[in-house]
């Protein structure tokens, strides 16, 4: 087979995969964690065996969607970090970019972070197995961004990775709580989290009515 023909077939396969992922996105936006392979196949106008041929199983489809959405999220975080503003403003913009993304597409967020809510007892599809690699990737990517933009001295790589994973963990836990309970406006949560990153905990006084922290 000539190289040009192989290239054309590869481009066609990649285009078809993108179309299937777009169909999956539409179903996830509608059904959240309950999105099924049957519904996605129907949305794409194909049979489920063809969908399995492209992704293997729901776990394979999940991983493909996770890469797609994580790429978009990281692009937004990088843009916020690179905005022409002061450091505090860029930190707040980065936090807001993450929270705005999960607020805009809560069903996608729940599909990625809480897939077990949709199909309880589904063997081999537990939340930890699938969401942990996504969070690790975000932590490593954020560590790289920090390394590129902040001079942290001789132990910079180690510190950047600790901060990257720590910030991602904070954003994930706080964002998960906020999306479920909506205890305050998004902007207020952004300020609260930025205060924590900005060292407010270290400079705050001890409460007079309780033990020290």
Q: What is the CATH number of the domain that holds 140?
A: 1.10.357.10
Identify whether 212 is part of a domain.
no
Q: Which residues of 94-105 are buried (b: 16+ CB within 10 A; e: fewer)?
A: bbbbbbebbeeb
Chain mean pLDDT for the chain = 84
Identify whether 209 is part of a domain.
no
Question: Is the pLDDT reported for residue 131 higher than 80?
Answer: no
Identify whether 28 is part of a domain.
yes
pLDDT at 60: 85
Identify whether 213 is part of a domain.
no
Residues spanned by the domain of 8: 3-202
| pTM of the shown model | 0.80
pLDDT at 213: 47
pLDDT at 208: 63
Across the range 68-75, mean pLDDT stands at 86
- Give the separation between CA 44 and CA 207, rounded to whole angstroms: 58
Question: Is the pLDDT reported for residue 125 higher than 60?
Answer: no
Band of residue 78 on the pLDDT scale cut at 50, 70, 90: confident
Instruction: State how many domains the chain has.
Output: 1
Q: Specify the higher pLDDT residue, 68 or 176.
A: 176
Identify whether 11 is part of a domain.
yes
Across the range 77-83, mean pLDDT stands at 85
The number of beta carbons lying within 10 Å of the beta carbon of residue 24 is: 25
Lowest mean pLDDT among 15-19, 24-28, 129-133: 129-133
Identify whether 208 is part of a domain.
no
Identify whether 197 is part of a domain.
yes
Across the range 45-50, mean pLDDT stands at 90
Band of residue 87 on the pLDDT scale cut at 50, 70, 90: confident
Identify whether 156 is part of a domain.
yes
SS3 67: helix
């Amino acid at each position: 087979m000539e190289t040009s023909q192989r290239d054309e077939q590869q481009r066609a396969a990649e285009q078809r995969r993108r179309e299937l992922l777009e169909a999956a996105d539409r179903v996830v936006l509608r059904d959240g964690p309950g999105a099924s392979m049957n519904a996605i196949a129907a949305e794409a106008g194909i049979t489920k065996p063809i969908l399995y041929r492209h992704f293997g199983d729901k776990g394979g489809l999940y991983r493909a969607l996770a890469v797609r959405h994580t790429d978009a999220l990281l692009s937004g975080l990088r843009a916020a970090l690179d905005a022409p503003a002061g450091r505090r403003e860029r930190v707040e913009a980065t936090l807001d970019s993450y929270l705005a993304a999960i607020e805009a597409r809560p069903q996608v967020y729940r599909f990625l972070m809480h897939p077990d809510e949709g199909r309880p007892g589904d063997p081999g599809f537990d939340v930890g197995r699938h969401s942990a690699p996504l969070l690790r990737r975000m932590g490593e990517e954020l560590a790289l961004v920090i390394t590129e933009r902040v001079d942290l001295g001789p132990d910079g790589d180690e510190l950047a990775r600790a901060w990257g994973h720590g910030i991602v963990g904070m954003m994930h836990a706080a964002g998960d709580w906020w999306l479920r309970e909506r205890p305050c406006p998004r902007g207020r949560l952004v300020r609260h989290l930025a205060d924590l990153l900005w060292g407010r905990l270290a400079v705050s006084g001890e409460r007079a009515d309780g033990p020290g922290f």
